[in-house]
């Protein structure tokens, strides 16, 4: 079931149709479109900066209204508040569009924040400033740093932090005081961490986009490939059957075509070998299918046959060994059949051939003389994962190996 796709609820196969519902052409095979939200993450980050700016504007307004009576120039305080309000409107509007997020506006953003910080020196009294009164914009100034971080990543964010901090230095006329160092560290963290998160987010978004693009491309390639494979298979099947009919050299060509037909068919009908992301289980069919060729037929259910990875590996390993035995020991013209079943308690794989067979007791004899081939590669593997293996054969009536591994 190659249309991987198809089925799988697991990526690869389409969702199984409800029982009995006959699909209209193509309905069952739509590739799942990537339905992520339309707003790119960058825009959401800018929105977050806008929210921060508006909330901190209100915060600064509360401080100014509470303290204006202590200011040296209360009017200056209101003027600064007006500038902050206007600048908030300008930047929120500008940053909402990608074209507005240019470096000049962001530089101006940092400059406005810095100048407003410095203006505290003129608006407020030296006494209050020296005793730790907040600057006029308070934490509104950090919105410029966040804008740098979102626009340019961690280094831009930290550069903005340093500029704003110098504004603080000029305003307080202190340089290496403990509070100044602490302030610098906080601003650097805001700019640096903010920028880092932005970079991670953008990386993740790009990865998701890339994955979606690849998924779409793969689905399209598979769709085209199915059509081509079908045509090629038709022609190969035709050449092989007509060739055998005509005989002679044409029969040889027919044999070649038959081999290729079988190889291509097993290639295109292969299920996903990837373990299920949630359960870590593997579809046993995917491990056994590659064994199919002109001489060996694989029969499976249409739905996945899941086993934990170790059990699936053991089972497919034992199956491979049994099929190898068919190819090597059952005789030139012998054919093999592999049946994969899910019997409710576990997974059963039967391998039968119509070859020469062997007398009862030969396997135990081989094992006791130290030739461990069959018992080790088949029985040992299966016992290791708690399963059972039986091998029955009669001369002239082929060999049958039955493997059973319980499901957890």
Which chain residues interact with another protein by CB under 8 A? 1-3, 6-10, 15-25, 28, 226, 229-231, 233-238, 240-242, 244-245, 258, 261-262, 265, 268-269, 276, 297-304, 306, 335-337, 339-344, 350, 352, 354, 400
Nearest alpha carbon to residue 354 among 338, 327, 340, 336: 336
CB 35 within 8 A of CB 27: no
Distance CA 25, CA 118 (A): 71
Distance CA 258, CA 238 (A): 9
Please, what is the minimum distance in Å from the beta carbon of residue 292 to another protein?
A: 10
Please, what is the minimum distance in Å from the beta carbon of residue 294 to another protein?
A: 9
Please, what is the minimum distance in Å from the beta carbon of residue 213 to another protein?
A: 25
Distance CA 155, CA 38 (A): 29
Reported as type and span, the H/E element at residue 402 is strand 399-406
Please, what is the minimum distance in Å from the beta carbon of residue 233 to another protein?
A: 4
**Residue number, 192 or 243, with CB nearest to another protein:** 243
Distance CA 78, CA 68 (A): 8
Please, what is the minimum distance in Å from the beta carbon of residue 342 to another protein?
A: 6
**Residue number, 10 or 320, with CB nearest to another protein:** 10
**Residue number, 151 or 268, with CB nearest to another protein:** 268
Please, what is the minimum distance in Å from the beta carbon of residue 307 to another protein?
A: 12
**Residue number, 81 or 403, with CB nearest to another protein:** 403
Nearest alpha carbon to residue 160 among 195, 201, 136: 195
Reported as type and span, the H/E element at residue 76 is helix 74-95
**Residue number, 205 or 356, with CB nearest to another protein:** 356
Please, what is the minimum distance in Å from the beta carbon of residue 352 to another protein?
A: 4
CB 124 within 8 A of CB 71: yes
Please, what is the minimum distance in Å from the beta carbon of residue 9 to another protein?
A: 4
Distance CA 17, CA 105 (A): 55
**Residue number, 306 or 403, with CB nearest to another protein:** 306
Burial of 77 (0-12, 13-18, 19+ CB in 10 A): buried
Angle (CA) 31-33-39 rounded to 5° is 175
Q: Which tokens sit at 121?
A: 């020196």
Please, what is the minimum distance in Å from the beta carbon of residue 251 to another protein?
A: 12
Q: Which tokens sit at 53?
A: 């700016």
Q: Which tokens sit at 4?
A: 């991987």
Angle (CA) 24-30-33 rounded to 5° is 145
Distance CA 212, CA 31 (A): 11
**Residue number, 130 or 234, with CB nearest to another protein:** 234
**Residue number, 17 or 33, with CB nearest to another protein:** 17
**Residue number, 102 or 299, with CB nearest to another protein:** 299
């Amino acid at each position: 079931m190659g249309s991987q796709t198809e089925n799988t609820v697991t990526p690869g196969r389409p969702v199984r149709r409800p029982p009995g519902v006959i699909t209209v052409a193509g309905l069952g095979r739509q590739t799942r479109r990537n339905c992520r939200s339309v707003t790119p993450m960058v825009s959401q980050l800018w929105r977050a900066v806008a929210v921060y700016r508006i909330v901190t504007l209100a915060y600064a307004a509360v401080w100014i209204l509470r303290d204006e009576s202590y200011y040296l120039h209360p009017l200056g305080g209101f003027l600064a508040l007006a500038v902050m309000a206007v600048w908030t409107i300008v930047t929120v509007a500008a940053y909402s569009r990608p074209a507005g997020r240019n470096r000049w506006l962001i530089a101006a953003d940092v400059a406005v924040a810095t100048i407003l910080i410095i203006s505290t020196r003129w608006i407020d009294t030296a006494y209050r400033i020296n005793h730790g009164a907040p600057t006029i914009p308070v934490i509104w100034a950090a919105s410029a740093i966040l804008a740098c971080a979102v626009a340019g990543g961690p280094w831009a964010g930290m550069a903005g932090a340093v500029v704003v901090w110098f504004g603080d230095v000029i305003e307080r006329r202190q340089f290496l005081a403990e509070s100044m160092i602490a302030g610098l560290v906080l601003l650097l963290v805001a700019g640096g961490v903010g920028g880092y998160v932005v970079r991670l987010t953008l990386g993740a978004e790009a990865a998701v986009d890339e994955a979606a693009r690849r998924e779409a491309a793969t689905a399209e390639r598979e769709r085209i490939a199915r059509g081509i494979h079908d045509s090629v298979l038709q022609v190969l099947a035709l050449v092989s059957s007509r060739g055998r009919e005509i005989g002679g050299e044409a029969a040889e060509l027919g044999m070649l075509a038959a081999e290729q037909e079988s190889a291509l068919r097993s290639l295109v009908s292969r299920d996903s070998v990837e373990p299920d992301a949630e359960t870590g289980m593997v579809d046993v069919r995917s491990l056994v299918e590659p064994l199919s060729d002109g001489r060996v037929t694989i029969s499976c259910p249409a739905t996945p046959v899941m086993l934990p990875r170790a059990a699936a590996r053991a089972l497919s390993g034992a199956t491979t060994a049994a099929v190898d035995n068919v190819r090597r020991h059952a005789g030139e013209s012998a054919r093999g059949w592999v049946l994969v079943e899910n019997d409710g308690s576990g997974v059963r794989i039967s391998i039968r051939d119509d070859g020469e067979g062997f007398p009862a007791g030969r396997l135990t004899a081989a094992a006791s003389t130290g030739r461990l081939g069959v018992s080790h590669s088949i029985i040992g593997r299966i016992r290791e994962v708690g399963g059972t293996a039986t091998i029955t054969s009669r001369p002239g009536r082929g060999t049958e190996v039955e493997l059973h591994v319980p499901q957890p």
